[in-house]
Amino acid sequence: MEQRQERVLIETERHRIAGTLTLPRDGYRSRVSDLLNAPERDFVPLTDVTIELLDAEGPGTMHDFMAIARRHVVFVIPMGEAQGEGAGAPARHAPASL
């Protein structure tokens, strides 16, 4: 199955998280909303992640991988297809300030 990488901004009650989702390129389950509404998924897996506390100043922390419990997600903003850097690795983006 061909896949694509989509950058997303996820907010929980305490954190703003920017990361990369891996989704099918086309068809079934190819949208961010499909992943969020899948009843068999309790966690949203992300790579190339930056996490910021909503009530604190600072650059946040970066992580190669994290899984976010769906029940903690307040909203998700798709930010577009991830652009590769170098050998096909997804680009790292800092979360956008709202």
Break the chain into its structural domains and give their ranges. Answer: 3-83
Asked which of 34-38, 64-68, 84-88 is least confident by mean pLDDT, the reply is 84-88
Residue 51 is predicted with a pLDDT of 97
Residue 48 is predicted with a pLDDT of 97
Query: In CATH, which of 3.30.1050.10, 2.30.30.100, 2.60.40.770, 3.40.50.150 is domain 3-83?
Result: 2.30.30.100
Give the global pTM: 0.77
Q: Give the pLDDT band (50/70/90) at residue 93.
A: very low
Element (H, E) at 14: none
Q: Sign (positive/negative) of CA torsion 42, 36, 97, 4?
A: positive
- Name residues whose C-beta falls within 8 Å of residue 23's C-beta, 6 or more positions apart in sequence: 3, 4, 5, 6, 29, 30, 31, 32, 34, 35
